Structure 1
Amino acid sequence: MNRFKSVISLLITAWGVSVGSGAIAQPRLEFDSQTPSFQKTLSQGNIRVEVNYTANENLFESNINYILSHQGQAYLQDALTEFMSGEIWLQDLNNDNTAEVIVSNYSGGAHCCTTHDVYEWTGETFEHTTLGPSDGYGGSFQDLDNDGIVEFTTFDGAFLYAFSSYAGSFPPSQILRIGPNGLEDVTRDYPEQLRGTAWQMYQAIQDRDSDINGVLAGYVAQKILLGEFEEGWQFMLARYDRTSDWGLDVYNDVGEVVHQHPDFPTALRAFLKEHGYL
């Protein structure tokens, strides 16, 4: 769904997504700020979610209430406030033949923000995991290696505005999976996807004459994820904008400048260490 356009009518659709050997229908509800109030139920196998949506007139009150059931017994009730648009759907993310409930909520705005709340049946209750809030659409659920287990592909939002404008930033990849021990970062397990994004970054750098440091920062981080830090670092040193002072200031907890890095490479190295890349 294009969240920048109004969706006047409520859509209940079934999407086929390739997982393993076949396509699994995904019961889905989509709604936005102009959708009339409704009560609907989605179900797949033993999982059911009852949704009560009230057209939002007060941004400070929850207007989406949902009850999650397993084998007809209600186990969890939750609610959220829909600001711009949202979706609720059922999808088996971990290939155990039991669907997870996924609730997506988009706040609106050019750059922000989407959350994905995932509810997984554990055998006794529904375990809740939140992905985000993340910039824009937040990410997507994809089975990257066709093993029936679905990954969540997104990016590291810490890089946005760090060394350049929003438009001049290109954050590195982040790939997550909901595993037996909770949310797992499996980014480095998918070098083919990482290399594809690295190539897009490389092309963006070739096409850019200014505002380049934000792309170079993401590129170096992406090369670290690929185990190619030194190559990425030397590439950055040969191309970075030496006139830009974006990202050189170091702030304390109350927003005061307490230090300034002498140049972009020094600031980038400190940033990469701070965020666990080095």
Structure 2
Amino acid sequence: MYKFIRQALISVAVVSITTLANQPSRAEVFTGQSGNVRAEISYEQSEEYQYKNVRLQIMRAGKKILDRTLPQDSEYDRPIGGLLTDNSNLPVLDLDGNKEPEVIADFFTGGAHCCLYSLIYKYGSKSQQYGQIQHKWGNGGYHLKDVDQDGIPEFVSQDDRFAYSFASYAASGYPLQIWQYRQGKMIDVTRRYPQLIYNAAFQQWQTYLEAKKQGDDGKGFLASYLANKYMIGQEKDGWQRVQQVYKQSDRTQFFADLRKFLRETGYIK
């Protein structure tokens, strides 16, 4: 699933960038609406792969509440529509269950493997203004899904810290990550969904077996598999299986490096 997400996001961004690069500078607009809240992002492409005047406007019941230039980590950061949805749509939806829609501005930084981040805007009833946070997704991005079926979507993603840690990008595996947006913050709630983690671990193990058939040592997928096993309290079983299958000459160093990495990234508490 996660490889599909990465490929889809990269394909959408690369195709869009290539198309724009062959056209003269012009304004592009994304719009979205929920109830009486309407949002619009506009931007210009001044030169090839360079974007400027990225501007967000948010209207409430016809009144303009926010009109500002959005911060970009660099001039190459391109605003995109909702990830894995209609790329012309700007996500405007209730992320925390308070009946007040938030606005998500997604950016792609360019390049073959990196990166995506989101600016999330929340309306404050007391201040009557919008506050903003940034969340970085790395290579994988996210998709919105109501995982627990409570009417509020979660951000389903992956732990991008595993990219290149034990293998090349293509041979890296990624543990499941699930985030909720609550009280203006992103909260990692992955461990609340043990069945989904178990499914992710199973998928990583299957991917490892396929990689092994193709002559890869599979370290990147074994690392992700073991991280998922730690999250559901099955680390003993996970280590036994990893140690049984990985017989390369660097196994002692790999196991030591893996244990150290899992501790540094918080999987080993």
Q: TM-score, normalised by structure 2?
A: 0.78
Q: Distance in 1 between matches of 2:230 and 2:121?
A: 32
**Structure 1 stretches (4+) deviating beyond 3 angstroms?**
6-9, 32-36, 38-43, 58-61, 80-85
Task: Give RMSD over aligned pairs.
Answer: 2.7
**Matched residue, 1:239:** 245
Alpha-carbon distance change, 243 to 122 in structure 1, aligned in 2, over 3 angstroms: farther
Q: Quick one: which of 144, 155, 161 aligns to 1:158?
A: 161
Q: 1:62 to 1:243 in 2, by over 3 A?
A: farther
Aligned-residue sequence identity (percent) comes to 30
Alignment length (residue pairs): 239
Question: CA separation in 1, counterparts of 2:244 and 2:30?
Answer: 58
Q: Is the 8 A contact 2:56 2:66 kept in 1?
A: no
What's the CA shift for 1:164?
Answer: 1.2
Give the distance between the partners of 2:151 and 2:198, measured in 1 at CA.
Answer: 23
Once residues 55 and 78 of structure 2 are traced to their aligned partners in structure 1, the CA distance between those partners, rounded to angstroms, is 16
Once the two structures are superposed, what CA deviation does each residue of 1:52-74 show, in whole Å capped at 9, x if it has no partner? 32233276663321123444142
Paired residue for 1:276? 266
- Post-superposition CA distance 1:98-138 (Å, at most 9, x none): 221111112232211111211111312222122214104x1
Q: Distance in 2 between matches of 1:102 and 1:185?
A: 18
> Is contact 1:178-1:184 (8 Å) kept?
yes
2:45 is aligned with what amino acid?
A: A
Query: 1:26: which partner in 2?
Result: none
Matched, 1:147 2:157: no
**1: CA distance between counterparts of 2:91 and 2:76?**
15
| Residue 132 (structure 2) aligns with | 128
> By how many angstroms is 1:41 displaced?
5.3
Give runs of aligned pairs for residues 80-119 of structure 1, distance below 5 A.
80=72, 81=75, 83=77, 86-87=80-81, 88-119=90-121
Alignment partners' CA distance in 2, 1:53 and 1:112:
21
1:182 is displaced (CA, Å) by 1.7
1:224 matched to 2:215? The reply is no
> 3-state DSSP class of the match of 1:110?
coil
Tell me if the contact between 1:213 and 1:241 (Cα under 8 Å) persists in the aligned partners: no
Q: Distance in 1 between matches of 2:262 and 2:176?
A: 14
Moved more, 184-193 or 126-135: 126-135
Tell me the SS of whatever aligns to 1:54: strand
Secondary structure of the structure 2 residue equivalent to 1:170: coil
Residues 93 and 181 from structure 1, CA distance in 2 versus in 1: closer, same or farther, beyond 3 angstroms? closer
* 8 Å CA contact retained: 1:90, 1:100: yes
1:43 matched residue in structure 2:
33
> What is the distance in 2 between the residues matched to 1:46 and 1:8?
35
Give the Cα–Cα distance (whole angstroms) in 1 for the partners of residues 106 and 149 of structure 2. Answer: 24
The reply to whether residue 55 of structure 1 matches residue 45 of structure 2 is yes
**Equivalent in 65, 70, 92 of residue 74 of structure 1:** 65
State the Cα distance separating 1:226 from its structure 2 match: 1.4
**Mean alpha-carbon deviation: is it higher for 42-51 or for 92-101?**
42-51
Among 172, 175, 179, the alignment partner of 1:176 is 179
Distance in 2, matches of 1:82 and 1:91, equals 27
Tell me the TM-score normalized by structure 1.
Answer: 0.76
Partner AA of 1:234 in structure 2 = Q
User: Conserved in 1, the CA contact under 8 Å of 2:79 and 2:105?
Assistant: no
More strand per residue: 1
Asked if 2 retains the 8 angstrom alpha-carbon contact of 1:64 and 1:82, the reply is: no
How far residue 51 of structure 1 moved from its aligned partner, in angstroms, is 3.0
Residue in structure 1 matched with residue 86 of structure 2 by the alignment: none
User: Which one has a larger percent helix, Structure 1 or Structure 2?
Assistant: 2
Change (3 A) 1:120 1:239: same
> How big is the shift at 1:154?
1.0
Provide the C-alpha distance between the structure 2 equivalents of 1:140 and 1:275, rounded to a whole number of angstroms.
23
Distance 1:38 1:233 in 2: 51
Find the aligned partners of 2:194 and 2:65 in 1 and give their Cα distance.
41
How far residue 40 of structure 1 moved from its aligned partner, in angstroms, is 6.6
